[in-house]
Every structure is written in C-alpha cells, then in structure tokens.
C-alpha cells in the first residue's frame, strides 16, 4: 500500500488562524493515523503579501499545538526553477501553449462577451489544434503560457467530505500557468508541489473547491496520480456568521496569550467538523487512533467559546499542579509579580484550579498570594460588619500563636465564631476580602494556611478592625 502523505500549505500573509490550524490538525492527524508523512509547505509566491514574520507565526503556532511535520518547510519561492522546468516539459508535450493575446485584446474580448451577456472567458485563439492555423506571432509581445484544458467531458472527484463533485470542462478556460514575465501562477505551483511531494491526500478549506478541477486536469496532463481530496467546510463564529477578526481571538497564538492549553485547543479544533461518536474529550493519542475522513461533517462548524473554556478547564485540572504552576509563573512574572518569596505556587494553583478556566484567570486568582490586593471599599463595606470586628480582632490574636496547619486554623475559626455567637460567613467573608481582595475563594482555612502567618497578620492589620 502506498504511504499516506498529507500536507499543510499555508500562504504566509498573516498569523495562523483558527481555520488554518484546523486544516493543519486534520492533515497532521490523518498522516499520524495512517502512519504516513506530514509535510509543511509555505506558499509564498504572493511576494507582496508574504512576510518572514508570518512564516514564523505559522511555525510557532504549529509548534505550540504540537503539530510536528516530517518534511519541510518547503518554500515555493525556492522551487521556481522546478516550476519553469515543468512548464517547458508541458510546452514540449503540447499540454501547454504560448498565448500572445495582449491585455488590450483581452479587455476587448471581455467587453464583447459581456455585451452578448456571456461569461467572460479566453476564446482559445492561440490554442493549437490539428488543422488550425494560429495567428502570426506578434513582435515584442512577451507571451503567457496557458494550460490546454480538455474541451469536452467532465472532471470529477469523490470528495472525502462533500461526496462527488463534477465540473464540465467546457466551463474551465485555458488557465494561465506562467505569466508574461515567466513566473508560474498559483494553481500551477500547487499542482507541481503536490505531484513532486507525492501527496496522497489533500485536506484543505473548501474555498479551494473551485481550484480542484483545474488542478486535477493539470495533474492528469502530467501523468501524475490524482490525490484524494477532502475539502473542509468553513468555521462560523459563536454568532453563526463567518469566523473573522470581529470574533476576537482568531489567531492561534492569541489562545496562548489568553491562557489556553494547547491540548485543549487541539481537542476543541478536532471536534470542529469531525466526530468520534459522542466523545467530546479525548487525548491527542486517541485522536490519532480514531481520526478518519469519513466522520468529517460537510456542514459548517460553529465556534463555541463556552465549550473551549470547558475543555480548557478540564485539561488544566488534568495537569500535575507543579506543571500548572510552571505555566502560571511566567504569566505572573510578566505582570511584574515575583513568586519566589511568597507561598508555594504549586499549592496555590492546586487550591484554585477548580474555579479557573484559563491560565490567566488562574494567575488573577493566585495573584493575591504574592502582592497585596487592596480590597475595594465596596467589598469591605459589604462584609466588614460591626458585629464581625471584635471576632476578627480575636481571630488575629489567635492566629499569632496557632499551629500553622489547616485543621488548627479551622478549629480557631470555629472557636472564634462560636465565642462571638456568629454564623461562619460573618467571619469567613471579611477574612476572604481582607486577605485576598476577593469575596470568592476556596476554603478560607486553606487560603490562610497558604498565605502564611506573617502575611496574614500584616494584611489583617491593614484594615482597622
Ligand atoms: N495556500 C493555500 C491557502 O493558504 C492552501 C492551498 C492548498 O491547500 O492547496 O489557503
């Protein structure tokens, strides 16, 4: 059996967006599933719009998601000689021809066709045919090269996602494959690359469906094997419209910035248009064991931020606390918060992870262990009641001498509320607010234990109780 070879072929004109990342993921997962090869190809022939920064953003985004490639990156701009060579071969074989039609002639042709209410198309005036006399070659007109597309019949393929797709050859005019300056055109480069790279499965966005019949015809003319095609439907935003910048985080690295874990994003993207029964949560390894082209949906997938957050929290909870701490620490450092002198960050994140769905939210939550977060006047007014003050003062005195462990601290809280005839929240709430600046925290005894005696005393002393 031939080895499966897939590719991801982004144009480096911007960041790696969510749609591109999903295409990369599906191509990667399919290659891994079939023990094939995954190739990265940078389609940088649009020189005006391609940038080295965008190439780097694509490579970084894929590395962050863990989508490792086996071959490449290949750059189309470095393959120009090869494209020219194939163009020469096609000219010799008669599957391509020089066309000397000038821009003015093409404009005139278009105007005539439009006047007749016909679809504008090249009329084949330079297309060689048996028994046809071609016009005399004009002086000083650099020719383009056109592909001699079959005139009759249909070009069809069984799309792995969309089913059978068919185009009438009569609908396709003779594509320019090399411009007058000799540079090859987009569809042609893709064909030569897919051929040279032995691509067996082309998995890409369905904005390329219209390119496929042309590409198949050129591949056929070259005597190349035709790959399988799987065209992925677009991704819609949360609101059901086409995913765009308006929806906020569309760059993959934005998800990194926002505190998502790559495993969560990979799991989430896998479910955007592919399914394995009712499974929502699966590891990368399961994805690789299960991924197939049969269960890609033909309908558009809709982005759901809530679901991504839910998955992210799941993966955060799965991580050993020390690893989680190692991810949160640089986020705190970026805010100028050093953790070395404060409580153990591993214990802090372990205490808070259940209530946080991104690394950033977790960093927000544990921040109060390392810098004093001044409680808002509003929170203080709400919780620091007159009946709580004597109990708080009492508690502060007790805390100075208590054994520093959760059960002892817990016992001290209980004794204090009992002695003052209060309900637990009357003491616990102002403590939370005064110690962390937040009204919602995990169990207050655990929070106190983690903050440490010195700091607890300092923080309590800041508010007049
Ligand atoms: N370079 C194309 C793009 O970024 C993809 C081409 C392909 O997959 O055939 O949309």
Q: Where are the domains positioned within the chain?
A: 319-369, 377-462
CA distance 68 to 422: 60
**Is 245 an annotated catalytic residue?**
yes
How would you write the pLDDT of the chain (465 residues) with one tens digit per residue?
789 999 999 999 989 999 999 999 999 999 999 999 999 999 999 999 999 999 999 999 999 999 999 999 999 999 999 999 999 999 999 999 999 999 999 999 999 999 999 999 999 999 999 999 999 999 999 999 999 999 999 999 999 999 999 999 999 999 999 999 999 999 999 999 999 999 999 999 999 999 999 999 999 999 999 999 999 999 999 888 888 777 766 789 999 999 999 999 999 999 999 999 999 999 999 999 999 999 999 999 999 999 999 999 999 999 999 999 999 999 999 999 999 989 999 999 999 999 999 999 999 999 999 998 899 999 999 999 999 999 999 999 999 999 999 999 999 999 999 999 999 999 999 999 999 999 999 999 999 999 999 999 999 998 776
- Burial of residue 293 (number of CB atoms within 10 Å: 0-12, 13-18, 19+): middle
pLDDT of residue 196: 98
Burial 406-439 (b: 16+ CB within 10 A, else e): eeebbebbeebbeebebeeebbbbbbbbbbbbbe
State the Rg of the chain over Cα: 32
Q: Which two tokens stand for residue 207?
A: 């904005």
Position in ligand 1 atom list of the atom nearest CA 7: 8
CA distance 316 to 334: 20
Cα 379 from chain centroid? 39
Q: Which two tokens stand for residue 19?
A: 């749609």
Question: What residue owns the CA closest to ligand 1's atom 10?
Answer: 10
Q: Is the dihedral of CA 102, 105, 111, 112 positive or negative?
A: negative
Q: Helix 345-352 vs helix 359-366: angle between axes, to the nearest 10 degrees?
A: 110
Mutate to test the pocket of ligand 1, among 21, 26, 72, 190 (most ligand atoms within 8 A of CB): 190
Q: Is the CB of 44 under 6 A from ligand 1?
A: no
Read out DSSP for 210-230? GGHHHHHHHHHHTTPPPPEEE
Q: What predicted TM-score, i.e. pTM, was given to this entire model?
A: 0.93
Which architecture does CATH list for 377-462?
Answer: Orthogonal Bundle (1.10)
* Beta-carbon-side half-sphere exposure of residue 410 (alpha carbons within 13 Å): 6
Question: What residue owns the CA closest to ligand 1's atom 7?
Answer: 9
Question: What residue owns the CA closest to ligand 1's atom 6?
Answer: 9
Q: Give distance in angstroms: CA of 187 to centre of ligand 1.
A: 10
- In the 8-state DSSP scheme, what is residue 112? H
- In the 8-state DSSP scheme, what is residue 152? S
SS3 289: helix
Compute, in degrees rounded to 10, the torsion defined by CA atoms 341, 342, 343, 349: -110
**Do 413 and 443 touch, CB atoms closer than 8 A?**
no
- The set of long-range contacts for 438-442, using a CB threshold of 8 Å and a minimum separation of 24, is 438/365, 438/368, 438/373, 439/379, 439/382, 439/383, 440/355, 442/351, 442/352, 442/354, 442/355
CA distance 249 to 253: 9
**Do 8 and 190 touch, CB atoms closer than 8 A?**
no
Burial 140-153 (b: 16+ CB within 10 A, else e): eeebbbbbbbeeee
Q: Is the CB of 194 under 6 A from ligand 1?
A: no
Cα 458 from chain centroid? 45
Q: Is the CB of 173 under 6 A from ligand 1?
A: no
Question: What residue owns the CA closest to ligand 1's atom 2?
Answer: 10
- Give Cα separations from 379 to 376, 430, 440, 442 (angstroms): 5, 9, 11, 17
CA distance 81 to 90: 14
Read out DSSP for 80-110? HHHHHHHHHHHHHHTSEEEE---HHHHHHHH
Q: Is the CB of 10 under 6 A from ligand 1?
A: yes
* Beta-carbon-side half-sphere exposure of residue 141 (alpha carbons within 13 Å): 15
Cα 421 from chain centroid? 56
Residues belonging to the chain: 465
CA distance 39 to 70: 6
- The set of long-range contacts for 392-400, using a CB threshold of 8 Å and a minimum separation of 24, is 392/427, 392/430, 392/431, 392/434, 392/460, 392/465, 393/465, 394/419, 394/420, 395/427, 395/431, 395/460, 396/457, 396/460, 396/461, 396/465, 399/448, 399/453, 399/456, 399/457, 399/460, 400/453, 400/457
The residue whose two tokens read 């897939």 is 6
SS3 37: strand
Q: Is the dihedral of CA 69, 72, 73, 77 positive or negative?
A: negative
Cα 227 from chain centroid? 25
Number of C-beta neighbours around residue 292 at 10 A: 13
CA distance 78 to 55: 14
Position in ligand 1 atom list of the atom nearest CA 211: 9
Q: Is the CB of 61 under 6 A from ligand 1?
A: no
């Amino acid at each position: 059996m031939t080895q499966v070879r897939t590719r991801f072929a982004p144009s480096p004109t911007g960041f790696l967006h969510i749609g591109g990342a999903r295409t990369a993921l599906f191509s990667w997962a399919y290659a891994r599933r079939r023990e094939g090869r995954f190739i990265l190809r940078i389609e940088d022939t649009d020189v005006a719009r391609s940038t080295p920064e965008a190439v780097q953003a694509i490579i970084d985004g894929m590395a962050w998601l863990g989508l490792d490639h086996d071959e490449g990156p290949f750059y189309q701009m470095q393959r120009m000689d090869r494209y020219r060579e194939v163009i020469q071969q096609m000219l010799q074989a008669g599957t391509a021809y020089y066309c000397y039609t000038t821009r003015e002639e093409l404009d005139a042709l278009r105007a005539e066709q439009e006047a007749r209410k016909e679809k504008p198309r090249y009329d084949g005036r330079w297309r060689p045919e048996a028994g046809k006399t071609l016009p005399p070659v004009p002086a000083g007109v650099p020719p383009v090269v056109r592909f001699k597309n079959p005139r009759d019949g249909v070009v069809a393929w069984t799309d792995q996602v969309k089913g059978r797709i068919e185009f009438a050859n009569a609908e396709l005019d003779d594509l320019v494959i090399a411009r007058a300056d000799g540079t090859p055109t987009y569809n042609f480069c893709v064909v030569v690359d897919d051929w040279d790279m032995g691509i067996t499965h082309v998995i890409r966005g369905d904005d390329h469906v219209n390119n496929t019949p042309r590409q198949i015809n050129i591949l056929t003319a070259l005597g190349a094997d035709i790959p399988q095609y799987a065209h992925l439907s677009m991704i819609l935003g949360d609101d059901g419209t086409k995913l765009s910048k308006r929806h906020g985080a569309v760059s993959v690295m934005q998800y990194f910035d926002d505190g998502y874990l790559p495993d969560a994003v990979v799991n989430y993207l896998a479910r955007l248009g592919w399914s394995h029964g009712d499974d929502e949560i699966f590891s990368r390894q399961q994805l690789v064991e299960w991924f197939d082209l049969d269960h890609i949906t033909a309908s558009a997938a809709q982005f759901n931020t809530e679901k991504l957050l839910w998955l992210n929290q799941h993966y955060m909870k799965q991580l050993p606390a020390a690893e989680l701490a190692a991810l949160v620490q640089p986020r705190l450092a970026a805010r100028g918060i050093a953790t070395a002198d404060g409580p153990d960050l591993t214990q802090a994140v372990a205490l808070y992870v259940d209530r946080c769905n991104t690394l950033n939210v977790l960093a927000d939550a544990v921040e109060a262990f390392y810098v004093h977060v001044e409680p808002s006047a509003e929170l203080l007014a709400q919780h620091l009641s007159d009946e709580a003050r004597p109990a708080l003062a009492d508690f502060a005195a007790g805390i100075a001498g208590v054994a520093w462990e959760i059960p002892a601290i817990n016992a001290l809280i209980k004794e204090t509320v009992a002695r003052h005839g209060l309900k637990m929240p009357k003491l616990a709430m102002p403590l939370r607010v005064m110690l962390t600046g937040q009204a919602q925290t995990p169990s207050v005894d655990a929070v106190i234990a983690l903050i440490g005696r010195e700091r607890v005393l300092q923080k309590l002393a800041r508010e007049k109780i």
